A and B are shown apart, each in its own frame.
Chain A
Amino acid sequence: MKQLFIICALILSSTAFSQTKVKETKEVKVERVKRSLAHYEEMTKVILHPRCLNCHPGGDRPTQGMDMHAHQMNVQRGPYNDGNVGMRCVTCHQSENNDVAGVPGAPRWLLAPKELAWQGKTKGEICRLLKDAKKTHMNLQELIEHNGEDELVAWGWNPGKGREPAPGTQKEFGELTRKWVETGAECPK
């Protein structure tokens, strides 16, 4: 399955590239890259928001809050990104937000895998991660869907009472991702 993803990703990205490459003049390319980078810049407003970064930690401990402090209670990634025996994410986080208890929740509450750590990385590094199908386990088309439709990603804009949502809407984020991909998914340095 994983291999299939990678193959698909390669085909898709190379097709997109070859299509644009044929017609592209230098001026067009400059303009396209500029637009792609601008789309990505917009995307980073979401990507670098604590609502998203908190579950893409650099180490094995998720963070929480706008100040991104280490998750209380010694919460750890665990072997499957869903915590450890005795304290898995679902010990506290259910399939929906619990505003009474102040505990956020969404379906499949878990951490992004370690290879997709965003914290401590530059915009460029994160960008290249997004395009690395070996790590994302999805091609760019799937990334558009993931960003625009995934129900755990959706939580970023529906974080529950008292939490600042990620900027914009998930639909807009998906749309931005699409535009970024369509313009060649260019990455800053």
Chain B
Amino acid sequence: MKVNINGTIHNVTSSEDTPLLWVIRDELNLTGTKFGCGQAQCGACTVHMDGNPVRSCALPLKLVGEKEIVTIEGMKDKISQAVQKAWVENHVPQCGYCQIGNVMTASALLAETKKPTDTDIDNAMGGHICRCGTYQRIKAAIHQAARELA
């Protein structure tokens, strides 16, 4: 099957029911996207599909089709760079395992909502679990990134 990841068409051999997550991680060796739950519960596996965040652990390869997938490795735009910088400056990551998913969603949020409110952020980020409890710093970092991008 063919799959468009980070602007490159890859021919992959994983079976069609394989969740995109494992195609990305195990076959294409892009390990930035994380496995946390396998049930779209935790958000660690979030990638973008045609610009929208999706949980790659609950997305079988066969449903991806020709849609464009972007993983953290492909996030080079101004918004995601601002988000990553804000993550560092606000001391967001602790163990860091969930943060890639958070960065992916935060970047998608800022792409559509230039100046998100606390509620906008709560609404966007509720699908992400962080066991280290970095939530208030994620929120602060999103606000900071928004300010820098303004």
Q: Do chains A and B touch in the complex (CB under 8 A)?
A: yes
A positions within 8 Å CB-CB of B: 72-76, 78, 84-88, 90-92, 94-96, 98, 100-103
Contact A101 B105 (CB under 8 A): no
- Contacts A73-B126, A74-B122, A103-B40: A86 and B105 contacting too (C-beta < 8 A)? yes
Task: Jot down 13 A-B pairs with beta carbons below 8 A, ordered by A.
Answer: A84-B123, A85-B108, A85-B112, A87-B125, A92-B40, A94-B63, A96-B63, A98-B58, A101-B39, A101-B40, A101-B57, A101-B58, A103-B40
- Contacts A85-B113, A87-B53: A103 and B58 contacting too (C-beta < 8 A)? yes
For residue B4, CB closer than 8 A to chain A, the reply is: no
Contact B54 A91 (CB under 8 A): yes
Contact B105 A87 (CB under 8 A): yes
For residue B17, CB closer than 8 A to chain A, the reply is: yes
Residues of A within 8 A of B32 (CB): none
Main secondary structure of the interface of B (DSSP, over half): mixed
Partner of B39, one of A75, A86, A90, A102: A102
Residues of A within 8 A of B55 (CB): 91-92, 103
Q: How many residues of B contact A (CB 8 A)?
A: 29
- Contacts A101-B58, A102-B39: A92 and B63 contacting too (C-beta < 8 A)? no
Smallest Cβ distance from B14 to chain A, in angstroms?
14
Q: Which residue from chain B places its CB closest to the CB of A74 in the assembled complex? A: B126
Q: Which residue from chain A places its CB closest to the CB of B38 in the assembled complex? A: A101
Contact A74 B58 (CB under 8 A): no
- Near A by CB (< 8 A), chain B positions 36-68 give 38-41, 46, 52-55, 57-60, 63
Smallest Cβ distance from A75 to chain B, in angstroms?
7
For residue B124, CB closer than 8 A to chain A, the reply is: yes
Partner of B124, one of A84, A90, A92: A84
Residues of A within 8 A of B53 (CB): 86-87, 91
Smallest Cβ distance from B111 to chain A, in angstroms?
8
Smallest Cβ distance from B59 to chain A, in angstroms?
6
Q: Which residue from chain A places its CB closest to the CB of B108 in the assembled complex? A: A86
Beyond A86-B53, A87-B53, A92-B55, 9 additional contacts (C-beta under 8 Å) are A74-B122, A74-B123, A85-B113, A86-B106, A86-B112, A86-B123, A90-B52, A98-B60, A101-B58
Bound: A95/B65 CA distance, A: 12
Contact A86 B58 (CB under 8 A): no
Bound: A95/B112 CA distance, A: 24
Bound: A94/B40 CA distance, A: 11
